[in-house]
Structure 1
Amino acid sequence: MTNGTARLEINDHEWTWELNPHIGTIATAPGRTVQETVTTQGPWGGNMDVRDVAEGSTVFLNSFNEGGLLFVGDVHASQSDSEYTGIAVESIAEIVLRVEIVDEQVPGVFRVENDDSIIHVDSAKNAGSPEDAVNNCFIALMDELVEQHGLSQREAYVQMSVNPAVTVRVYQFVHPGFFTVGVTLEKAFLDSYR
């Protein structure tokens, strides 16, 4: 994806801002059920509009079919947090992906990792409510800190409230019913912990 600048003209006003290109929809086929790509969200991924599914990121998705049957689309050149009015700067794109099979279940909808951050993502459609989606992301991050990075349960729990390296981002808050959230941990914290 190529970065650049967006320009918007409304009435006699003009605004510009830096682009943040990303993939809005990324999913594997959800087992035997039929889902359409515009509104689906579940443990297989979906139309999540996560700005961090961008160049250089790794997305961990669950697979329910032989071969995964990966689908990507709905590329955005830019989008605000929440996509509140339901629009983004839609774009065509040529995307190069590399796929590997990892024998590990992903909590929530998916997990994103880039050079700087670890992000656990869930949605109200998957979790049942916005509150449950946020809670699931925090629990997934705490579990990862304990199971993969050697923190005690107490250490991981305390980090969720006191450490500014832990942030919450609302990627999608579009009515009716779309709420996507990610809880992020800056990897620099892991370096300081060792």
Structure 2
Amino acid sequence: MDATLNRHPRIGQATTVAAGPPGARRLVSFLTPGDGPVDLEDVRSYLTAHLPLHEVPAQFFVVDELPLTANGKVDRSALAGWASGPVAVPSVSDEPPGKGLEEAVARQWEVVLGRPVSRRSDNFFELEGNSLLASLLVKALNESFRVQLSLRQLYSAPTVAALAALLAEESDTRGGRGEDLEHV
């Protein structure tokens, strides 16, 4: 996956590590900027298009430079320690989820993730969602809203706002009215 990340034009260098306690390990990528600012949603979409979903990292950190060992190699153990700390990737917006669909999506996330979801820009994977939890969330959303979302759609719309918009769009294509989509 690092080779795929390193082909992205906005990434200078990428290294991915497995982080977290045994049984709850997740992939975390550390990126240095390349040509312009790094848009993490663009990076996630790029990886989703080029890799199997289980290989897409759960979290991304943009750093000025990667730590090096005395031998000049990337210090993966230091990165694993960084990944175990608090999430350092800020969300763009601090707005709470909107009423209606965004609020219902946030509630579903809270059940699956077991933690509060307070912003419409919260990213499922940055809140430590992983492929197993993503599968559970898609199943819950499909049952609750009577839609047919796929796992790939969640990976392409990983924020509360984007997923709510996708649910509304999915309802529209099935002859419903997205704004009237109700939680069952």
Q: TM > 0.5 between the two?
A: no
Higher strand fraction: Structure 1 or Structure 2? 1
Q: What range describes the TM-score normalised by the shorter chain of this pair?
A: under 0.3
State the TM-score, normalized to the length of structure 2. 0.28
Higher helix fraction: Structure 1 or Structure 2? 2
State the TM-score, normalized to the length of structure 1. 0.27
